[in-house]
């Protein structure tokens, strides 16, 4: 009887959708900086993403997420600026930017994410909103939040003796299949 049951039910077990896997080749983190003379973005598409999913398959809810990227992986389209950012951020001493969630609260497709951001050797609690969408078979998590460079003991870069703004915007777009 048990053998019959297992033979009958096992094909259905394999038809459940697999847990979503990160598409790191499509996922990005972008910083946006401002200076009185210009604005620019730096983009990293070299992310490491680890995710825990809720056990109930159809919900596709993340319960925990950890993301890391190398400071040196950001590209602003200007190699001199990127080299200067690596120097300003002391990337030899603090090579990685790491985020670990502590809680994720869902309100349908809107998320409130709390966690710890480790940047330039300083770890700070942060909280931000994100959105989850399902597009063309991919789950997409995206959001934007501000940080203050001085909170992370970063000397603001300057041009013509004028410092860049203290606040930068961090934007992320994470894809899962």
pLDDT at residue number 33:
93
pLDDT > 70? residue 18: no
pLDDT at residue number 57:
58
As a whole number, mean pLDDT of residues 54-58 equals 66
pLDDT per residue as tens digits for the range 104-125: 999 999 999 999 999 999 999 9
Give the pLDDT band of residue 136 (cuts 50, 70, 90): confident
- Do residues 102 and 117 touch, judged by C-beta distance below 8 A? no
What whole-number distance in Å separates Cα of residue 165 and Cα of residue 150?
A: 10
pLDDT at residue number 113:
98
As a whole number, mean pLDDT of residues 49-72 equals 86
Domains of the chain by residue range: 20-176
Hey, CA dihedral for 140, 144, 147, 149, is it positive or negative? positive
Phi, psi of 124 (to 5 degrees): -130, 145
Mean pLDDT computed over every residue of the chain: 87
Give the pLDDT band of residue 58 (cuts 50, 70, 90): low
**CATH architecture, domain defined by 20-176:** Beta Barrel (2.40)
Give the pLDDT band of residue 75 (cuts 50, 70, 90): very high
Cα angle, residue 22 at apex, residues 20 and 24 outer, rounded to 5°:
160
Strand partners, 130: 111, 143
The residue that leads in pLDDT, 162 or 112, is 112
């Amino acid at each position: 009887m048990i053998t019959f049951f297992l033979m009958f039910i096992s094909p259905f077990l394999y038809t459940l959708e697999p847990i979503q896997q990160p598409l790191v080749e499509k996922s990005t983190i972008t910083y946006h900086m401002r200076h009185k003379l210009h604005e620019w973005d730096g983009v990293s598409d070299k992310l490491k993403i680890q995710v825990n999913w809720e056990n109930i398959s159809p919900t596709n809810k993340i319960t925990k997420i950890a993301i890391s990227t190398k400071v040196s992986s950001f590209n602003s389209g200007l190699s001199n600026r990127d080299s200067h950012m690596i120097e300003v951020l002391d990337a030899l001493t603090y090579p990685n930017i790491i985020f670990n969630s502590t809680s994720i609260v869902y309100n349908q497709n809107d998320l409130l994410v709390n966690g710890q951001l480790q940047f330039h050797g300083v770890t700070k609690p942060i909280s931000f909103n994100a959105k989850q969408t399902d597009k063309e078979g991919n789950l997409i998590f995206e959001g934007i939040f501000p940080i203050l460079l001085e909170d992370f003991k970063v000397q603001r870069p300057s041009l013509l003796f004028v410092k860049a703004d203290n606040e930068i915007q961090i934007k992320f777009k994470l894809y899962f299949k």
